[in-house]
Chains A and B, each alone.
Chain A
């Protein structure tokens, strides 16, 4: 289904939920936001996962400087310009201000201040020490309180565990989806939809897995791991890669493994006395998330290296890495040269692909991708 149709359908879905009295809680940062808490409170979590364009980026310049992450600019632009295909943004009741990166803070704050959306706070520690985990727990408890105030009653532990289990199973299924030998565009489309709707879309994912479980590796295409920034709705990047003869076999991004790899053992969920601790455990285990310091780079290099080695062993095919950097992204940009250097020293080819959402970029991106794939 085309993006526009999906988004139109999503608008209808959200409107229906709103009519049932549910609140919609949106957020820019995908990583570490406890969506199960939102779900357990009976609300709808909505990730900002929509790519921009010149018009949306320009519209944000009334609020922040142009040397800000193009995704953050586009998020603001979406609220400012209100294009039809993002009509569902009107249905948002609350927006979470979080510190995934400083652009997240700034953009979320602007959205809550200037577009009349109530604010919720959820801040995340940068390190993973015991004290940082304790701090993360404090934030979770504060966040839970904020949700309970909106709800008007407490969030019951059993509901929270049920929600955790539900999302956990959902992520396992997405993991299966990721392992299929299908076109990257098919996987991406489903992953995007999955992160938009959540577990509601599980039957569709299951059906797709069932139909494609025996798919064979696409030998005539160059295999690529996408790392760095996500490919969001309405972005043409994956088209360029496929047009150039490439195929993304693994999405190591927010919309991808960063989400579905954060799985807990079923027994851990079942035996937990305080489900808030499960979020803390998940945060602790999330060592590949770009928010964390000081070992993000070394963890990421090991992760990608292992992934590439395994792929080579299983398929006998070479695999390259496209590091997608949305312009002015603090987290991906500063590490990009080190990531490339370290992976290349291990024999893995890397393309650092920096871009914003302007139309003028398309030709240049296409040339760079084609050259990279050819080199592979």
Chain B
């Protein structure tokens, strides 16, 4: 059993988040067929307005798939229904300590494979996307999303489509219609720049999107429901940020750094749709933060003060998941903070706005203007900002094959990092998970040499 798996089972909240992600298929089937709720397909963390309607469920389409370890997790889930999650994880820890092999082995398999299983499915979707005709030109993210939509899009009543600066993304969204499923296409245009009354226009675009969703729902839109949801997400955004900054930048980790990265990767993936249940995700992430802090307070964990902090980014569009393990083996620790970099972890300004849609529009406009940016100058500033905030010692930039948007900012970014931060950086090419692990190892090995003295 890997150290990663050994550590993970100590966090019951991680187990819950993993369980919720991987058993999404059953959860969504239940909600769709038994509870007569409607599924709305989303991509990137733009799912919030779906939560304004209690009978609509946002879903990142990959979660409608069956994952290989599904059976074990079902048993675990059943046990937790009876005994509660904390009891189950305490029990698992106890069993492991006793060394009862069979039970322990099953648990090992589950935990160790959480990220692997998700990534394996992503790869499967990537291959399927290509088989279904998406040109090889496109990035890992778009190909795998396309595969997900072809395979599972028929289960959704609508796709929620936000335009962003990436033209491949916008055209991918348009292509969903051509797949031939009967789902509605709901479009919300985010103005590329914040000029004139564009914030008002965005507010109105969101309102119109809400109206489209309202037609699918048997509920009417209510400010209160949406406000409550946004408050929930503000709590989860804060907890996410605290995990990243309070725990991630400290000298003592509640687990080993590779485990910490597995958790960050899991949070990153789950954040797209909050695993279709925002309140549950909020509860899990806040309890995760609490568990982490509790462990640190008890001195359980690992001194990482001598390990250089390496920011690996962007990873949301695909990255080599072995990277953090390799860096850990090489004496470093990795942080993944894409959503904070793009400002998705900022608070939605509810306190100074009576209309929650207005507040949400302001939040999205801030992401567009200051996070993703309408050009690479702004985007590279975002990278520099997060590297600075995390006090990173080095930055590994993932240059995704076929990414014509973010990957092309590296020349500019390299200069800014050298000038403003004076830390080493490198670009790491990526095409598909698991494809070039040895090459990644060699390149990261050379990079980490810089931190030896």
Interface residues of A (CB under 8 A from B): 62-65, 67-69, 72, 97, 99-103, 105-106, 109-110, 113, 121, 123-127, 129, 131-132, 134-135, 138-139, 141-142, 291, 293-297, 327-331, 333-338, 342, 354
Contacts and interface: CB of A to CB of B under 8 A. Distances in A.
A328 B137 contact: yes
A125 B376 CA distance: 18
Contacts of A291: 167
B408 A68 contact: yes
Nearest to B178: A338
A97 B192 CA distance: 12
B292 interface: no
B196 A141 contact: yes
A353 to B, nearest CB: 13
B287 interface: no
B427 to A, nearest CB: 9
Given A67-B402, A293-B187, A138 B135 contact: no
B411 A126 contact: no
B172 interface: yes
Contacts of A113: 377, 412
B100 interface: no
B177 interface: yes
A64 to B, nearest CB: 4
Contact of B171 (A106, A109, A328, A330): A330
Nearest to A137: B196
A337 B205 contact: no
A157 to B, nearest CB: 20
Nearest to B138: A334
Contacts of B402: 67, 328
B404 interface: yes
Contacts of A336: 135
A330 B167 contact: yes
A48 B426 CA distance: 32
Interface stretch (B75-83, B158-166, B248-256): B158-166
Interface string B393-412: 00000010111110111111
Interface in B183-198: 185, 187, 189, 191-193, 195-198
B204 interface: yes
A106 B196 contact: no
A202 B142 CA distance: 45
Contact of A65 (B196, B204, B399): B399
Given A65-B399, A330-B167, A138 B198 contact: yes
B133 A337 contact: yes
A132 B191 CA distance: 8
A294 B174 contact: yes
A208 to B, nearest CB: 36
Contact of B404 (A69, A110, A141, A297): A69
A141 B138 CA distance: 35
Interface string B116-157: 000000000000000001110110001000000000000000
B411 A62 contact: yes
Interface residues of B, number: 50
B137 A293 contact: no
Nearest to B185: A294
Contacts of B161: 294
Contacts of B191: 125, 135
A138 B377 contact: no
B171 A293 contact: yes
27 contacts: A63-B408, A65-B399, A65-B401, A99-B165, A99-B192, A102-B166, A102-B168, A103-B404, A106-B409, A109-B375, A110-B411, A113-B412, A126-B189, A135-B191, A135-B201, A138-B196, A139-B193, A142-B195, A291-B167, A293-B163, A297-B174, A297-B175, A328-B402, A333-B137, A334-B138, A335-B175, A337-B135
Contacts of A127: 163, 187, 189
Contacts of A334: 134-135, 138, 142, 168, 171-172, 175
Contacts of B408: 63-65, 68, 102-103, 106
Given A65-B399, A334-B138, 13 more contacts: A65-B408, A65-B410, A99-B167, A102-B166, A105-B165, A123-B192, A123-B193, A126-B189, A129-B189, A138-B196, A293-B171, A333-B138, A334-B134
A168 to B, nearest CB: 27
B170 interface: yes
A123 B377 CA distance: 15
A335 B405 contact: no
A335 B178 CA distance: 9
Contacts of B133: 337-338
Contact of A335 (B171, B401, B409, B411): B171
A72 B405 CA distance: 12
A304 to B, nearest CB: 15
A121 B193 contact: yes
Contacts of B174: 293-297, 335
A138 B197 contact: yes
Contact of A330 (B163, B404, B411): B404
A103 to B, nearest CB: 5
B399 to A, nearest CB: 6
A11 to B, nearest CB: 29
A69 B178 CA distance: 23
Contacts of B375: 97, 105, 109
- Which 10 residue pairs are nearest across A and B when measured between Cβ atoms? A101-B167, A337-B133, A138-B196, A123-B192, A338-B178, A106-B408, A330-B167, A64-B408, A330-B168, A102-B405
A127 B163 CA distance: 9
Nearest to A104: B167
B374 interface: yes
B170 A126 contact: yes
Most interface-central of A62, A69, A334 (chain B CB within 10 A): A334
B114 interface: no
B18 interface: no
Interface in B310-350: none
B185 A134 contact: no
Nearest to B205: A131
Contact of A328 (B205, B376, B404, B410): B404
A106 B161 CA distance: 23
A330 B192 CA distance: 18
Contacts of B165: 99, 102, 105
Nearest to A132: B189
